[in-house]
Structure 1
Amino acid sequence: MRLLHTSDWHLGRTLHGVDLLDHQSAYLDHLVDVVRSESVDAVVVAGDVYDRAIPPVEAVTLLSDTLARLAELTTVVVTSGNHDSATRLGFGAALMRERVRLRTRVASLAEPVEVGDVLVYGLPYLDPDVCRAELAPVAPDGSRALLARSHEAVTTEAMARVRADAAARAAGGDRRPVVVAAHAFVVGGLASESERDIRVGGVDHVPAAVFAGADYVALGHLHGPQVVGGPAGTTLRYSGSPLAYSFSERHQTKSTVLVDLAGDAPATTLVPAPVPRRLTDLTGTLDDLLGATGEPHVDDWVRVTVTDAARPAELFRRVRQRFAHALVVQHRPDRPDDARERLALVTAAADPVQVAADFVTHVTGGAPTDAERAVLRAAHEHVLAAERST
């Protein structure tokens, strides 16, 4: 059996204002070609298909066309991520053709997609505030006690259901490799700046041991392709995003994972994704950057940091004239370390509560108390709940 593992397409996303849909479309063309040339039995998409809950029409059309093309060649299993609206992504799942299987509902996470000799369990993104009641085990008296408010608790219960289903099948003589698609931040994974913060109660991680019992765990959420150490007999891997969505990802080799499930352990091969345009960080004086230093990068997407002591005249115009694809232009004088202004970079991966706490410290001159932090966290989680209800 051969699977193709991918995730984090983020259809509809932009990069510093640049529309990436054409580049995302090129990647999906490449994906279809790989499925055809490598005789792939199933494609597993581990969440964050869209970049936001209500995606643009063009992104919906691109996904629809891509799924139709893939379904002509193979089976496709798609799960929802933290950027997706599970309800919207899963709309019409019951009407989908047999070879397109959407896994967006908690209630069906222990119902595998049977692909030849493999059982594929698709776990939608498990938001603890949404799932801790639905996933709570039923006591003998019919009551339910809420699970702990954490990613670890809800994922542990989800995997318990997966293992129970696989064990029941094995007891009946149906022993097949188990593949789990999950969208989570597993302990040991390396994050980038472009993944959205998913902390609940201040914690966003899930221990790798939670996934014990699976042969291969197709992970989504982190944008860098990487293997995460897990329990014996279980391979955990992030495929990463197909495109770079921040300058922190500029050194990553974007790829898709071919997984061969034969023998004692899954064998994986990374298939490089097409690179629409390189991302480059350029730092130096304006004269240097406009000269030989910048020459190799005139066609790149660049972040330009100009270090002249005084801000050069017409800085933005001159940089854009040289670098047509400059995404960020900033003036940051080159000063000794003890005189350099120290600024914390705020990215999508930053803890919003910590950002707010830093702001309180900046404005008041003193760090917020534990009680004030609790208020900040409650306010943030109230906003997240409101977003989920839209």
Structure 2
Amino acid sequence: MRLLHTSDWHLGRTFHGASLLDAQRTVLSEIIEITRERQIDAVLISGDIYDRALPHVDAVKLCNWALRELAATGAKIVMTSGNHDSASRLSFGAELLDAAGLHIYADLDRMIAPVILEAADHRVAIYGIPYLEPRMVMDQLGVEKATHESVVKAAIARIDKDLEERRSSGTEVVSVSMAHLFAAGGVGSDSERELSTGNLDVVPVELFEHFDYTALGHLHGRQKVREHVRYSGSPLAYSFSEAKQIKGVWIINTTVEGLGEIEEVQLSEPKHLVILRGELEALLADPELEYAVDAWCQITLTDKERPADAMNRLRERFPDTVVLNFDPQGVDAKDQPSSYAQRLAKASSTEELVDDFVEHVRERAADEAEKELVRSVILSTREAKVSQ
């Protein structure tokens, strides 16, 4: 059998305020085409289908289209809920959709009823573990500690009983699990929502050791935690921390002996993410930066003093600059300004007080014209008080 592992679509997500629906449709079209061309038997979507619990209508329409097109390829679709999804909304009509080949796992009751794929010499059992919020499911799972490790461990114990019964029938069963969590050893990025504070969300990867393959979701970088425990990552980059990631999907082949070849298939990047650093004038003039003109840009300026109207000037060349940072370089320690509080304490006049405030707020000293304007306003105010 041939399985395709994807996750973290985050349909409806924006990138610094800009819609990503067109880009999401592009990469989903590629996944649909891969499913058709490679004759995939089942598509595994490991959570975070949507970016929020109440998705926008356009995101719902895009999801409906993608699932319809995937189903039209003849592949079964197995989908689990993620921490961004509303489990109850995602699972609406789940029992009815089973008949259409769309299997949604968003609650504990369905967890021990795997999707079964029949091959000539073996059977594949796919178990979907929905995202488990510890405090919401600990009583139902009979655990005392509200940790991700404890509830996942209890959920897998239930699956183990069902899997043992199926294997006792004599038929070779290849076991596949799906889950949405932070597995120990995984590498995160800035676009993921933390599941809990500290390290309470980390789940030992050893819990999945006895499955032939585990399709994980939540971390946005495609990666191997173990040879048979992997994250597919998100199909698009959702933060600049993912700028160098190569997005794609895993294709898993199963045999009578268990796990066969695992292939990585890359997806296109509808719009590049570029991180630039340097002085303003150099960035604007450098011909080698032409590749960044049509990209989403995060730019850090290193000028000694923050340039005036920096964002607008950058956007004249790099229209989609969405993040601007300032990290002055080459400033001697003796030339570094003292703290704002110290400068206020040392100010000997109202004019100096205002000048210090302007420099503190915008990280650039007032020029002579601005200083003259400040002096004239202060003088006018004083004259008005005297006339009263």
TM-score interval (norm. to shorter): 0.7 to 0.9
Contact 1:8 1:49 in 2 (8 A): yes
User: Structure 1 pair 110/147, CA: closer, same or farther in 2 (3 Å)?
Assistant: farther
Q: How do 1:92-131 and structure 2 match up within 5 A?
A: 92-96=93-97, 97-116=99-118, 117-131=123-137
Q: Which residue of the partner structure matches residue 252 of structure 1?
A: 245
- 1:24 matches 2:32: no
Q: Which residue of the partner structure matches residue 158 of structure 2?
A: 161
Letter in 2 for 1:95: L
User: How far, CA to CA, are the matches of 1:40 and 1:16 in structure 2?
Assistant: 35
Letter in 2 for 1:324: P
- 1:273 matches 2:270: no
Q: SS where residue 173 of structure 2 aligns?
A: coil
Shift of 1:265: 2.9
Query: Can you list the C-alpha shifts for 1:93-148, whole angstroms capped at 9, x where unaligned?
Result: 12214311111111221110112221000000011111111111xxxxxxxxx431
- 1:12 matches 2:9: no
- Within the candidate set 212, 236, 248, 1:243 is matched to 236
User: Structure 1 pair 260/101, CA: closer, same or farther in 2 (3 Å)?
Assistant: same
Gaps of 5+ in 2: 338-388
Contact 1:118 1:177 in 2 (8 A): yes
Letter in 1 for 2:328: P
Q: Which residue of the partner structure matches residue 148 of structure 2?
A: 151
Contact 1:260 1:268 in 2 (8 A): yes
Contact 1:128 1:200 in 2 (8 A): no
Q: Which residue of the partner structure matches residue 378 of structure 2?
A: none
Shift of 1:305: 1.1
Q: How do 1:114-263 and structure 2 match up within 5 A?
A: 114-116=116-118, 117-136=123-142, 146-199=143-196, 203-229=200-226, 235-262=228-255, 263=257
Contact 1:150 1:201 in 2 (8 A): no
Q: Which stretches of structure 1, 4 residues or more, deviate above 6 A after TM superposition? A: 336-341
Q: Which residue of the partner structure matches residue 380 of structure 1?
A: none
Q: Which residue of the partner structure matches residue 321 of structure 1?
A: 316
For the aligned residues, what is the CA RMSD?
Answer: 1.8
Q: Which residue of the partner structure matches residue 297 of structure 1?
A: 292
User: How far, CA to CA, are the matches of 1:253 and 1:202 in structure 2?
Assistant: 27
Letter in 2 for 1:271: V
- 1:56 matches 2:62: no
Q: Which residue of the partner structure matches residue 81 of structure 2?
A: 80
User: How far, CA to CA, are the matches of 2:332 and 2:100 in structure 1?
Assistant: 61
Q: Which residue of the partner structure matches residue 361 of structure 1?
A: none
Shift of 1:264: 4.6
Shift of 1:68: 1.2
Contact 2:174 2:259 in 1 (8 A): no
Contact 2:212 2:258 in 1 (8 A): no
Q: SS where residue 269 of structure 1 aligns?
A: strand
Gaps of 5+ in 1: 137-145, 342-390
User: How far, CA to CA, are the matches of 1:255 and 1:336 in structure 2?
Assistant: 43
User: How far, CA to CA, are the matches of 1:122 and 1:305 in structure 2?
Assistant: 43
Shift of 1:280: 0.9
User: Structure 1 pair 321/209, CA: closer, same or farther in 2 (3 Å)?
Assistant: same
- 1:38 matches 2:38: yes
Q: SS where residue 294 of structure 1 aligns?
A: helix
Letter in 2 for 1:38: R
Shift of 1:337: 10
Shift of 1:248: 0.5
Contact 1:254 1:273 in 2 (8 A): yes
User: How far, CA to CA, are the matches of 1:93 and 1:264 in structure 2?
Assistant: 29
Query: Can you list the C-alpha shifts for 1:334-388, whole angstroms capped at 9, x where unaligned?
Result: 25698999xxxxxxxxxxxxxxxxxxxxxxxxxxxxxxxxxxxxxxxxxxxxxxx
User: How far, CA to CA, are the matches of 1:185 and 1:67 in structure 2?
Assistant: 26
User: How far, CA to CA, are the matches of 1:335 and 1:45 in structure 2?
Assistant: 49
Alignment TM-score, normalising by the size of structure 1: 0.81
Q: Which residue of the partner structure matches residue 91 of structure 2?
A: 90
- Higher-Rg structure is 2
Contact 2:183 2:202 in 1 (8 A): yes
User: How far, CA to CA, are the matches of 1:316 and 1:3 in structure 2?
Assistant: 46
User: How far, CA to CA, are the matches of 1:245 and 1:167 in structure 2?
Assistant: 40
Contact 1:299 1:325 in 2 (8 A): yes
Shift of 1:307: 1.2
User: How far, CA to CA, are the matches of 1:68 and 1:269 in structure 2?
Assistant: 25
User: How far, CA to CA, are the matches of 2:262 and 2:15 in structure 1?
Assistant: 30
Letter in 2 for 1:334: Q
User: How far, CA to CA, are the matches of 2:63 and 2:252 in structure 1?
Assistant: 23
Alignment TM-score, normalising by the size of structure 2: 0.81
Letter in 2 for 1:299: D
User: Structure 1 pair 200/284, CA: closer, same or farther in 2 (3 Å)?
Assistant: closer
User: Structure 1 pair 160/29, CA: closer, same or farther in 2 (3 Å)?
Assistant: same
User: How far, CA to CA, are the matches of 1:277 and 1:28 in structure 2?
Assistant: 15
User: How far, CA to CA, are the matches of 2:265 and 2:81 in structure 1?
Assistant: 23
* Alignment coverage as a number of residue pairs: 328
User: How far, CA to CA, are the matches of 2:190 and 2:38 in structure 1?
Assistant: 33
Letter in 1 for 2:269: V
User: How far, CA to CA, are the matches of 1:196 and 1:51 in structure 2?
Assistant: 10
